[in-house]
Structure 1
Amino acid sequence: MIDKQKNPRALAVDILVRINKGAYSNIELKQTIANSQLSQLDINLLTEIVYGVMQRKLTLEYYLTPFIADKSVQDWVQALLLTAVFQLHYLDRVPTRAIFNESIEIAKTYGHKGTRLFVTGVLHAIQRKGLPELSEIKDPVQYRSVKYSIAPWIVAQLDAQLGEEKTEKILASINQPAHQAVRVNTEKVTVANAIDKLGRLGYEAHPSKVAADGIRMVKGSVANTELFKNGTLTIQDESAMLVAEAMQLNTGMTVLDACAAPGGKTTHIAQKLGETGSVLALDLHPKKVALIKANAARMGLTNQITAKTLDARKIDEIADDETFDRILVDAPCSGIGLIRRKPEIRYEKSLQDSQNLHKIQIAILNAIAAKLKKNGIITYSTCTILKQENEETITDFLTLHPEFELIQTLTDKQIKASRSEPYLNIYPDDFETDGFFIACLKKRA
């Protein structure tokens, strides 16, 4: 019998079933690992299987379908078979015998004799016949959807908006491992000092080529280090670090962060404002506001940051017109730019979701526009790469608000400085970071 708490493959099946019911992969993995009795080697295998299956889900389902035909398969059996196919096809270092034996044992533990025989039969049929070829898919959008494991509507949207060549480059990048990056709290140390401290702890790290305050980790997590706990470092993607850079902040400014949780950009803004500046950080949900406060406290920035529970569309309740020097709207979005790091996004979202989010984004921008001082700047950002949530949102806002003009989005390292448009699009293949959009809107005097 399988001891689940010590078996990474069994735990992977449990996690995948919960993810398919709406749980978040990163949270499920973190909690499962904390409650398990796994060695570091097994933790690595568990993580690789869970993320691997989520990243390759549509591909794996295509491979598996001929072997289960029209049979009604329980969720956990489907998840078990997907983990087995993933290991067989993508993990060359794992012996086939080990994959078969472990999968059959899990079937025996979780189910009855019939389930064990079914799983055994499917695995041996795969070994005997081999997996179906992707070339059998004739529709070009469906082919790339299955090859790269991403919803067909996303492929079609990217084709239409960016062209097939750029879409192909993006899709080819999204199943590569996500880099971990950290941002340096420059109130405490320099980037060079932080890299030196990480080196002494045995980490290999390099200055980010994208963000001035960023460091890219070669491997390993800093979450349990004293440097993270004492607020010297915080975990943040390099693309996200560009937002505060683009805001053209000066010490002493008053800033509104309208959609602030969990507070990564809020704290970055605060460290650029110095002790005389202030940030009002808003979020809809009390639990998320608590995260903003916790991050501010960890990084020693509580004096500059005030966090409140409020829908930014109701900003009139707490702020007068022309209160803020800068406003950040890091808007609710489909998150399509994060699909390398959060693979479930590529299956959960729909085109209708994206179109509905556009309306919410416009409503937030409309609500906060009057709160900006003349000559002030609204920085609008998302972690999606779809134009209806990015360029089209900006175009619609400017139509409604002629008192604003679109200005060049500037970054410290002059990212994509030769681009023809004033806003900044970062795609997942550009720098192996998250996809991001940043635009800056200046209020006329």
Structure 2
Amino acid sequence: MNSHPTIDAMRTAAQVLSSGDVRDKIRAVQCAQDALDAAKAMLLAELEASKDYEIDGASTLNTWVRNQLRLNPGQATVLVKNVVALRDLPLMAGAAMSGQISAAHVRVFVYGLRHVGLEPMRQFEDVLVDVASHHEPAELFEAVKHLKDTIHPEDLDDAWERGMDKEDIAVDALPDGWHVTGFLNTVTGAKLKKVLDSVSAPHDAEDTRTGAQRRVQGLDDLLTDILGNGLPSDKGVKPHLSVFVDADTLEAAASHVKATTENPHLIPDPMPATEPAKLAGHGAIGPNLLMYLLCVSDFTAFLMKNGGSDRQAQVLNAGTAKYQPNLLQRRSVIARQHGVCATPGCHHTHLEIHHSIWWSLGGPTDLDLLVGLCTRCHHLLHRGRLNITGNAVDGFTFTTKAGRTLRRRRRSNYRQAA
């Protein structure tokens, strides 16, 4: 190993530290540190070639680095990988030994050797070293990535196909909101990014919202518009958010929120112990959110009671003369199920109305015999993999193709309760 460039960098740092501008001191120290990092990697390359790490009882160079230099496994792995780059790319090694480029730049060259190849990296080594000498590691990475994309364009299609296999998106309910996770393929992700960029742009120079606030508000505005106008109705029922609340809860929430907003300096009386309002697909919500949703929404009232026959359901029963349930029947089924698929364990909220006694087998369009299923469960039923018996008064029973009864982990909401 030629140690002169490193020694020169250290000598320069020592001279500058004794006198000179503080900015020059910092730059000189950084240069010496980068040179020492490179020298350490070059010495490790010699150690690897000699296998002398075995003298200290280490079976690999990585183990020796962890034990003798007291580095964690991640740091040791990075340092050992840098050895390869410094050994195979002499121009880059010289720049590193003199402190012109940092260990972070060297790691980018390691990436290039692995993903671009030795020969292309050597062919463009002088250009890449020049980029590294004048720019930060991120700029160097973009240059190496561009070289990779130019030489191996087939890798781009491979990456796209891998993305297609990985794609997924989940929206899970949490006590304080919703958690969105997932992975989108190249095209779908680009579309989402374009939409978010468009709807989250600042309104004007006076728009002081943060980027996060603008993105969330823009997405909320977009979804509100789509739910209101952009989705087709399902037999008269447009896709919408559903909130289910007892009359007592609604009255108590209204009084509570009014008291807290009109007299914010006073400690309000606690809410009475009423059944909490529920947002379909999410769960219980508080009185303030309930009143907000009521303020911006339409609502439909249903008369409900526990047990027995529902007089309103009898009025809505259409007998066998009509196949399609009417709009009020559909809304009643959705309300009875709190907007969630009736199949135990399923939490989907976009529902289709099914005759528990099939219309083709003489089943009437009675409210007690109608059940709301998500599209997937509805398909499973008509493919013979799910069976439903019973009625809304006594409770529906769900069984699999093998005859196993599906049971829900919580008390059923689908008994006729009005």
TM-score (norm 2): 0.26
Tell me: higher relative CO, structure 1 or 2? Use CA pairs within 8 A at least 6 residues apart.
1
Task: Please tell me whether Structure 1 or Structure 2 has the larger radius of gyration of its CA atoms.
Answer: 2
